[in-house]
Chains A and B, each alone.
Chain A
Amino acid sequence: MVKKQLVKYHPDTRFLTDYAAGSLPESQAMCVAAHLHYCPSCRSHIRDLTQVGTALFMDQPPAEVSAGSFEQVMAKLAQTGKSTVTETATAANESPASDAKQEKLDTETAELPRAIRKMTRGSLENLNWRNLGKTFRYSTIRTGDTRRESSLLEIKAGGEIPRHHHGGDEITVVLKGSFSDQEDRYHVGDYIVRTRGEAHTPVASQDEDCLCLTTLDSPIVVNNWFYRMLMPFLKKPTSAH
């Protein structure tokens, strides 16, 4: 997909299996998909895990389908005017061309994972950003997941996010640049899980802005200015629209 780079932090078997099975909540699946975009080795794992799903799927005791189901499917296909596959194939061929055109316009976002790239429609500036101080801004992502908050975070080069604790689990995937905390430095593709109660102070590297995708289990509980500002927003995810 994108140029090969060495990704150091990967989702564990739990995330990969739930993703392959399709039961991982959408917001977390988005983080796994972002990681996969940069990690050929986890893509290979996913293919194996999908094989496991296929084998279980094929071994199920079959369940009875309603009478007339096949006819209804054929009727639906006739309705969409796509009762021959060739017509469908022609229609399907139209979109890659326009996608390619779109991609020329947006070198800024061309290397981002697919869902993010689509959302940004060519430029990060198309998103609704909220500034928090001079070095940090974020944009909420709407997913079908009501129990978690997803956002894109951008930390300016050298900028810092104040030390904070989490009330729930947090997943972060680096999409651009790099950041460090007291434990390590994280690069593009790294999938970092912080569990309830862990504290950290992320700092972006000096030479480049850092863009991350992050998903939070439940609103954070800490009293400092950062979260007093963030909290009202976290409670009402759609207030920016």
Chain B
Amino acid sequence: MAVTETVNTGARRMNPTVVKDEAATWNDCLLRVARDSDQAAFQQLFNKFSPLIKAFTAKQPSFGNQAANMSEELVQETMVKVWQKAASFNPEKASASTWIFTIARNTRIDLIRKTSRHHQNRINNDDSEDGFDVEDIWIENEDEDVFNQLAKQRSAETLHEAMKNLPEEQAFILKKVYLEDKSHTEIAEELDLPLGTVKSRVRLALSKLRLSVDR
């Protein structure tokens, strides 16, 4: 289930030590925000992550001509949450980058949900709430198994390297899934492929990354 060591001879090889040092820097910044409300550390995080969040939310199909505004709103909203939730960050359970990616993802889901809910409520003339939040569905699942946590932290760098050596077609499909906010079904429609083909390409990519695909 964990990512295993892969022999990497690709030309685009990144030095794993660099990835690791970078990861440690972000963890450290986030801890300083949590401990000392350190604004300089927060700005450092902002400078690194906000352009990534902006890129991540820019290709949002459902925002239409509001995409640029929404994307900026998502950047700010996510960074506000990063500050507010910093105290709950635990580097033993997730890296800062995973933690921030998860917040960006949930903030995006939340904004889309609110937009759709507002629209629906207007149609139905109904203000009632669902009684649950995005965080109740996209739950931050912390690893219960300490040994597993360590193994996964170590494997993150290996995974990063393995991604760089994925064949083009598989890298392409993974980017569609993760960065364009499109479900398998939507990708199948867009590329005019059967759902089964999209599914098998994703599975192939995951198995190339040495991730178990027994589901």
Contact = CB atoms under 8 A, between A and B. Distances in A.
Interface of A: 10-14, 16-19, 21-26, 29-30, 33, 36, 40, 42-66, 69-70, 72-74, 76-77, 80, 82-86, 88-89, 92, 114-115, 118-119, 121, 141-144, 146, 238, 241
Given A13-B206, A14-B198, 7 more contacts: A16-B215, A18-B177, A43-B141, A53-B105, A57-B97, A58-B52, A76-B80
Given A30-B137, A72-B76, A48 B215 contact: no
Given A57-B56, A70-B43, A115-B136, A144 B51 contact: no
Contacts of A62: 51-52, 54-55
A71 to B, nearest CB: 10
B179 interface: yes
Which has the most chain A C-beta neighbours within 10 Å: B37, B46, B47, B114?
Answer: B37
Interface of B (DSSP majority class): helix
Interface string B52-73: 1011101000000000000110
Interface residues of B, number: 88
Interface of A (DSSP majority class): helix
B72 A69 contact: yes
Interface in B173-215: 174-175, 177-179, 181-184, 186, 195, 198-199, 202-203, 206, 209, 211-213, 215
17 contacts: A13-B203, A13-B215, A17-B206, A21-B105, A21-B181, A22-B108, A48-B3, A53-B101, A69-B50, A70-B47, A73-B80, A83-B37, A85-B35, A119-B131, A143-B130, A144-B113, A241-B126
B88 interface: yes
A10 B128 contact: no
Nearest to A142: B130
> Which 7 A-B residue pairs are closest in the complex by CB-CB distance?
A62-B51, A89-B87, A144-B113, A63-B55, A63-B54, A84-B37, A115-B136
A22 B139 contact: no
A51 B152 CA distance: 9
Contacts of B29: none
A59 B132 CA distance: 33
Contacts of B114: 144
Contacts of B39: 74
A85 B215 contact: no
Given A13-B199, A60-B55, A73-B80, A46 B141 contact: yes
A89 B35 CA distance: 10
A28 to B, nearest CB: 9
